[in-house]
Amino acid sequence: MWTLVRRDLILDRRMVGLNFVMYLIMGPVFLSLMSEAPVKLIAGWAGIVGAMIPLSLVGREDKFKTATLTCSLPVTRDTVVASRYVGGWVLALGGGLAILAACYGTFLAGLGHPVGGWGGALLVGFVTIGLIMAGLLPFTMRFGLVGLIGFLVFTQVLGIVAFLSAALFGGHGMLRKLIGGVAGAVKALQEPLGPVGYDLFLVAAVVVLNVASFFLSRWIYRRREF
């Protein structure tokens, strides 16, 4: 599995490096221009950027049609999927942390004005990465980069349609209730679990989601034909 992870890093080192450099510059520049920068929002953004790096890496294999070569190598498809998740998490966490560190450095240098504490920032970043990886990796493994872009466009259009129809037909409250209900249910756990227990619950939920996503990806990839 590590040979595959190493291979991906070698193959896509330029793309990965370019992404890192771009966001490591972009983050601090934007922060220095903002009057107020909520720390948790920055952590969420770092998580999104971190998670997109491995996703685009998986998508590139589809774009260049090199999956045929990968699956002709002496590795099982399950190992290919495992390497995507392990390598993906390493890259996403590494990327997210590096960007977060760069933003922190920006504040330390006196540029930008952070709002809120850094305590929960790591957790926000982690949960963001976990949700994106768990949700989009199976999809990317099946449909590639074009499919991923298509899916993201589709969800945006779906969102617009939902909000438009809510505005037109008066279901706005229902949509808000639904989203608020889910968020509220998760937040409601804060009291019985306590702050540490709640954080651990979120981490565990992300892990469980990713394990489920891994098994789904494995199921999908075993059936893929090239």
Partner 1 sequence: MDSALELTGVGKCWGEFALRDVSFQLPPGYITGLVGPNGAGKTTLVKIVLDLVRADAGSVRVFGHDHRADGASLRSRIGFVHDRPTCYDHLAVQQLGALVGSFYATWDEETFQRLTREFELPSRRRVSALSRGMKVKLGLVLALSHRAELLILDEPTTGLDPVFRRELLERLSGLISDGRTSVLFSTQILTDLERIADFVVFLRRGEVLYEGVKDDLVDRWAVVRGGPEIGSELEALSVRGTRDTQMGIEALVEDLEAARRIFGERAVVEHATLDDVFLLLGATRDEEGRS
131: helix, strand or coil: helix
Provide, rounded to whole angstroms, the least separation between the CB of residue 75 and partner 1: 6
CB of 4 to partner 1, least distance (A): 8
Query: Least CB distance from residue 156 to partner 1, whole Å?
Result: 31
Alpha carbon of 110 to those of 26, 29, 105: distances in Å?
17, 13, 9
d(Cα 185, Cα 20) in Å, to the nearest integer? Answer: 36
In order, the DSSP letters of 172-190 are HHHHHHHHHHHHHHHHHTH
Q: Which is nearer to partner 1, 76 or 155 (CB)?
A: 76
Q: Which is nearer to partner 1, 63 or 176 (CB)?
A: 63
Nearer to partner 1, 71 or 123 (CB): 71
Tell me the C-alpha distance between 203 and 128, whole Å. Answer: 11
Please say which residue, 32 or 70, places its beta carbon nearer to partner 1: 70
Kindly tell me which of 117 and 223 has the beta carbon lying closer to partner 1: 223
Give the span between the Cα atoms of 88 and 137, in whole angstroms: 9
Contacting positions for partner 1 (CB under 8 A):
3, 6-7, 10-11, 14, 64-66, 68-69, 71-76, 79, 223, 225-226
* Cβ partners under 8 Å of residue 50, min gap 6: 91, 92, 93, 94, 95, 96, 97, 99, 125, 129
- Tell me the closest approach of the beta carbon of residue 6 to partner 1, in angstroms: 7
Q: How far apart are CB 3 and partner 1 at their closest, in Å?
A: 5
